[in-house]
Amino acid sequence: MAGTHGFRIEARGIGKHFSGQAAPTLSALDLTIGGGEFVSLLGPSGCGKSTLLRLLAGLLRPSAGTIRWVASDGSSASGTTLPDIALVPQEPTLLPWKTVFDNVYLPLRLRGTARTAAMPRVLDLLRALGLEGREKSWPRELSGGMKMRVSIARALVTDPDFLLMDEPFAALDELTRHRLNDDLRALYTQRRPTVILVTHSVEEATFLSTRIVALSRGRVAWDLPVDFGAHRADLRDHAAFQALRGDISARLRADQAALS
């Protein structure tokens, strides 16, 4: 389904109040995300980024408000017409008793796709993510960056409409993070899923996204489009990139200052 820009998400009046907490984590939050956007969620620690992602993934229920998946013809999706959603967690949760190939093949296997039919797709993704030749490796033989590559390949193998990622690169060194950011951006350009990424890295958000949404006080604090045209590997060195990155950091510092 990816590339069809089939669905947009409409979150209206979203509230989330965890039991035992004095104040709600999210309150009266409105957000619309169009098909094919790459949205990064930024904001101070504890502002509710992961909670929002889990609500959008359907892993949590909102205490108030509605989340609708709207098809391009305006109809609300439900039941079997719901879009495919893949979640990449912070820790790459690979099955240790399965090879790299079989970890990535698993979502297709669960859908009844035969191994031989799945092979070109799995190998294509492994190649795109720099894992060629690693098909028969076991997760314990891989570095942290490689495990995350396998986790991303597994999330993409069903060609999901929505790719939701919760700080997937937080534990990686800067060079590995840059490489994975480059690969993710190339994959996004090729396949155009809708991506929602929770991150603390302003550089990562600026490099990857078509839009940055900052949360504060339980709702959207600001919402900024990002457009650098065709992406180049050296984009990070350009003055316009560094200026936007600086502007976003300043906005986040102002949000943080307003909280204290």
The one-letter amino acid at 62: P
The one-letter amino acid at 14: I
DSSP code at position 167: S
Q: How many residues bind ligand ATP (CB under 6 A)?
A: 11
Distance of CA 19 to the CA centre of its chain: 27
Q: Considering the rule CB under 6 A, would residue 75 count as an interface residue with ligand ATP? A: no
Least Å distance, CB 17 to ligand ATP, is 9
Residue number with CB closer to ligand ATP (44 or 139): 44
CB 13 within 8 A of CB 29: yes
Q: What are phi and psi of 33, to 5 degrees?
A: -120, 120
Q: Site for ligand ATP (CB under 6 A): which residue of 8, 49, 177, 185?
A: 49
Q: Considering the rule CB under 6 A, would residue 210 count as an interface residue with ligand ATP? A: no
Q: Site for ligand ATP (CB under 6 A): which residue of 21, 78, 80, 116?
A: 21
Q: Considering the rule CB under 6 A, would residue 61 count as an interface residue with ligand ATP? A: no
CA distances from 194 to 89, 156, 206, 243 (A): 16, 12, 16, 26
Residue number with CB closer to ligand ATP (49 or 134): 49
Q: Which helix (H) or strand (E) holds 219?
A: strand 219-225
Q: Considering the rule CB under 6 A, would residue 259 count as an interface residue with ligand ATP? A: no
Q: How many other CB atoms are found less than 10 A from the CB of residue 83?
A: 20
CA atoms within 13 A on the CB side of 18: 10
Q: Judged by CB under 6 A, which stretch of 48-56, 72-80, 171-179, 180-188 contacts ligand ATP?
A: 48-56
Separation between Cα atoms, residue 252 and residue 215, nearest integer Å:
10
Helical H segments across 10-114, by residue range? 49-56, 100-110
Least Å distance, CB 53 to ligand ATP, is 8
Q: Site for ligand ATP (CB under 6 A): which residue of 9, 29, 39, 51?
A: 51
Least Å distance, CB 74 to ligand ATP, is 31
Q: Considering the rule CB under 6 A, would residue 47 count as an interface residue with ligand ATP? A: yes
Q: Considering the rule CB under 6 A, would residue 160 count as an interface residue with ligand ATP? A: no
Q: Considering the rule CB under 6 A, would residue 18 count as an interface residue with ligand ATP? A: yes
Cβ-based burial of 103 (10 A; exposed 0-12, middle 13-18, buried ≥19): buried
Q: Judged by CB under 6 A, which stretch of 39-47, 130-138, 201-209, 226-234 contacts ligand ATP?
A: 39-47
Query: Interface residues for ligand ATP in 77-116 (CB under 6 A)?
Result: none
Q: Considering the rule CB under 6 A, would residue 46 count as an interface residue with ligand ATP? A: yes
Q: Judged by CB under 6 A, which stretch of 47-55, 127-135, 185-193, 225-233 contacts ligand ATP?
A: 47-55
R_g (Cα) of the chain, nearest Å? 19
Binding interface with ligand ATP (CB under 6 A): 18, 21, 25, 43, 45-51
